[in-house]
Structures are given as structure tokens and as C-alpha cells.
């Protein structure tokens, strides 16, 4: 009986060790999966005073009618107690402000340039550009089958401004692909998790 008990205890100890190792591995894999739900740029605006206010100017030259209003609505989706976007009067100055939105010739639908201050993790400025040659839809209904939804694209580009990178996550605003005629106007849980990872929970 004693020998059998020892063997049983040894077997139980080995099983518990394997079970613990499996649980640890599962937890690691779960954490990795959760972490991959968003990707962060190496710099952002969190060095600024809290609450952070990012002030933009929109140039309406070559923009579709109603573009400025739609762009502001898209930016507001990202705003919360720790971070907000605000806008000065629409203008197209000769020298671009630090944070600026414009419609220009591009090889892509939309492009955001948000460099850091040299040698720091601080975002210096954010330039959002939209391809002026694209057939934009600047309304709140559904775009035509050949139109690009301005709200959806603007929402994505402002995500880059706050420090988020493209992800391959269907349904997330920060997915780098959106077909013409489609809309994605609400932040997914992964988008909000990325924002909150940088600037804090609401």
C-alpha cells in the first residue's frame, strides 16, 4: 500500500506539473492574442498636459461638399475624457499648421504623416491627406458602389494621429483595408483598447 501510495503521489505530482505548465502556456498564448488586437506606434501625444487637445485646421480646397463637417464628426469618435480633437476655422494657409487636413493628389485613398520629435517618443504633428481624385461620399447614408466613404476613411486616419498602426482585424477601424461602397463608422473594441492603452482608461 505504501509503495502504491508513493507511486500514486508521484504520478499526481507529474500530472499537476504538466497541468500547471499547460495553464501557463494557455495564459501566455491568450495574452499574446489579446496584445495583437492593436498595434501602437512608437510615439504619441501622451506627453502633453492631460486632458490632451489636438487642434486641427481643415483645408476645403478640392474637398467634396460637406467634407469638413464629416471629418469633424469622425474625429469626435476618438475623443473622450483623456483626449479630444478640436478644430480652428477652416483655412488653406500657405504654410501648413502642425495638425492639418487637406485634399491633394495621392496614389492612395488616404494618408497620414505623424512624425516624432527627433530623439523622442513625442508626436510632433499630424498631417492627414485625402486623394482629391477619389469619388468621395460625404454624407451619413450609404455611399454608392463606386464611392469612398469619407467618414470611415477619416476615422481610420485620425487613429494614426493618436498613435495606432494598421491591423489585420476585420471589423476594426484600424484595419488598413475598406472596400469602396462600404462603411466602418464606429470604433471596435480593439480600436478603443489601443487608444486606452496609450492615453488611459476613461
Q: Residue 57 forms beta bridges with which residues? A: 100
> Are residues 101 and 138 in contact, defined by beta-carbon separation less than 8 angstroms?
no
| Residue 116, pLDDT above cutoff 60 | yes
- What is the reported pLDDT for 10? 45
pLDDT digits (tens, 9 = 90+) for 163-189: 999 999 989 999 999 999 999 999 999
Task: Write down the pTM of the prediction.
Answer: 0.83
Cα–Cα dist 130/6, whole Å: 73
CA distances for 88 relative to 21, 57, 123, 133, 138, angstroms? 56, 5, 20, 25, 20
Cα–Cα dist 22/18, whole Å: 6
- The rounded mean pLDDT for the chain is 88
52-199, what's its fold? Collagenase (Catalytic Domain) (3.40.390)
Q: Residues 57-86: what's their mean pLDDT?
A: 98
Confidence bin at 55 (pLDDT 50/70/90): very high
In degrees and rounded to multiples of 5, residue 111 shows phi and psi of -145, 135
Establish whether the linkage from the previous residue to 134 is cis, with ω within 30° of 0. no
- What is the reported pLDDT for 37? 86
Amino acid at each position: 500500500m505504501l509503495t502504491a501510495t508513493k507511486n500514486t503521489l508521484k504520478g499526481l505530482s507529474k500530472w499537476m506539473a504538466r497541468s500547471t505548465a499547460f495553464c501557463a502556456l494557455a495564459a501566455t498564448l491568450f495574452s499574446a492574442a489579446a496584445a495583437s488586437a492593436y498595434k501602437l506606434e512608437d510615439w504619441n501625444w501622451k506627453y502633453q498636459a492631460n486632458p490632451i487637445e489636438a487642434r486641427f485646421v481643415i483645408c476645403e480646397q478640392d474637398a467634396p461638399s460637406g467634407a469638413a463637417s464629416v471629418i469633424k464628426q469622425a474625429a469626435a469618435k476618438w475623443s473622450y475624457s483623456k483626449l479630444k480633437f478640436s478644430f480652428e476655422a477652416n483655412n488653406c494657409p500657405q504654410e501648413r499648421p502642425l495638425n492639418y487636413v487637406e485634399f491633394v493628389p495621392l496614389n492612395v485613398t488616404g494618408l497620414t504623416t505623424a512624425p516624432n520629435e527627433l530623439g523622442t517618443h513625442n508626436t510632433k504633428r499630424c498631417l492627414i491627406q485625402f486623394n482629391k481624385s477619389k469619388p468621395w461620399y460625404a454624407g451619413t447614408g450609404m455611399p454608392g458602389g463606386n464611392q469612398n466613404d469619407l467618414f470611415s476613411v477619416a476615422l481610420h486616419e485620425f487613429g494614426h494621429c493618436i498613435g495606432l498602426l494598421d491591423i489585420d482585424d476585420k471589423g476594426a477601424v484600424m484595419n488598413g483595408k475598406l472596400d469602396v461602397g462600404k462603411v466602418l463608422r464606429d470604433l471596435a473594441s480593439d480600436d478603443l483598447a489601443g487608444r486606452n492603452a496609450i492615453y488611459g482608461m476613461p
